[in-house]
């Protein structure tokens, strides 16, 4: 029996098909591209630098990806038709935000994200595709648009102008290491 899933505006009812260079296996409630993880945590010396949620991630209910102490919370929700979230307001709660954490949604294109440690040393890179979401939590980061790209950014405010970030030299192109993490 086929399983219908909408990807990039296409309605797909096959069990196997190809999207660009990806071979996609569709199964109810579980989707993998080859053996790539759908949620990836990038860490350096036990410090969480980033969380990447790939477009194909799917899980019923509410799934939080971030620890409770992060100043930027990131979750995924999937609810059935007519599920209701009761009306609510968020109470004023004093929060002391010391480090800016940001979330990017890749609307279109292909983006390379480069990860750096707190001392500006290059670590590794990943490729982001349309529909991918990334939380940048710690360390440094930079981006290279591998195709014309549209990105939606969400981060804490108010914006601090020049005090918001320190810019530094990007990695030499010949030293880029693109990692593809699998669950093998």
Q: How many CB atoms lie within 10 A of CB 136?
A: 22
* Amino acid 4: pLDDT: 41
How many Å apart are CA 105 and CA 128, to the nearest integer? 9
Residues 18 and 33: their CA atoms lie apart, in Å, by 10
Nearest to 23 by CA among 31, 34, 39, 14: 34
pLDDT in tens, the chain (184 residues): 333 444 444 333 333 434 444 444 433 333 444 445 789 999 999 999 999 999 988 889 999 999 888 889 999 999 999 999 999 999 999 988 888 999 999 999 999 999 999 999 999 999 999 999 999 999 999 999 999 999 999 998 888 888 889 999 999 999 999 987 555 4
Domain membership flag for residue 20:
no
Report if residue 174 sits inside a domain.
yes
Q: Which runs of consecutive H residues, i.e. helices, occur in the chain? A: none
- The total number of structural domains that make up the chain: 1
Q: Residue 49's CB: how many other CB atoms inside 10 A?
A: 22
**Is 89 a member of any domain?**
no
Q: Summarize pLDDT for 107-159 with one digit per residue, the tens.
A: 999 999 999 999 999 999 999 999 999 999 999 999 999 999 999 999 988 88
Q: Is residue 10 part of a domain?
A: no
Phi-psi region of 8 (alpha: psi -120 to 50; beta: other; left: phi over 0): left
> Residues with Cβ < 8 Å from 159, sequence gap 6 or more?
none
What is the per-residue pLDDT for 36? 56
- Quick check: is 108 in a domain? yes
The reply to whether 148 falls in a domain is yes
The predicted pLDDT at position 35 comes to: 47
- Report pLDDT for 107: 97
- Report yes or no: 35 and 115 within 8 Å, Cβ to Cβ: no
Answer whether 112's CB lies under 8 Å from 126's CB: yes
Element (H, E) at 105: strand 102-108
User: What is the model's pLDDT at position 148?
Assistant: 97
Domain encompassing residue 125: 37-78+95-184
Per 3-state DSSP, the chain is made up of helix, strand and coil in percentages (nearest 5) of 5, 45, 55
Cis amide leading into 158 (omega within 30): yes
Task: Specify the CATH number for the domain of residue 108.
Answer: 2.60.120
Does 6 map to a domain?
A: no
Establish if 121 belongs to a structural domain: yes
């Amino acid at each position: 029996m086929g399983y219908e899933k909408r990807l990039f505006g296409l309605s797909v009812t096959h069990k196997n098909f190809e999207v660009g260079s990806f071979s996609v296996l569709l199964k109810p409630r579980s989707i993998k591209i080859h053996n790539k993880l759908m949620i990836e945590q990038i860490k350096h010396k036990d410090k969480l630098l980033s969380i990447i949620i790939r477009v194909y991630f799917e899980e019923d209910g509410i799934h939080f990806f971030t620890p409770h102490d992060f100043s930027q919370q990131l979750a995924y929700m999937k609810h059935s038709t007519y599920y209701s979230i009761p009306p609510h307001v968020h109470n004023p709660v004093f929060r002391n935000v010391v480090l800016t954490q940001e979330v990017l949604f890749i609307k279109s294109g292909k983006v390379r994200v480069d990860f750096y440690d707190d001392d500006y040393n290059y670590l590794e890179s990943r490729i982001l595709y349309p529909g991918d979401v990334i939380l940048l939590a710690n360390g440094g980061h930079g981006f290279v648009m591998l195709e014309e790209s549209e990105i939606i950014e969400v981060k804490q405010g108010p914006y601090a102008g020049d005090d918001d970030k320190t810019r530094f030299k990007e990695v030499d192109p010949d030293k880029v290491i693109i990692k593809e993490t699998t669950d093998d």
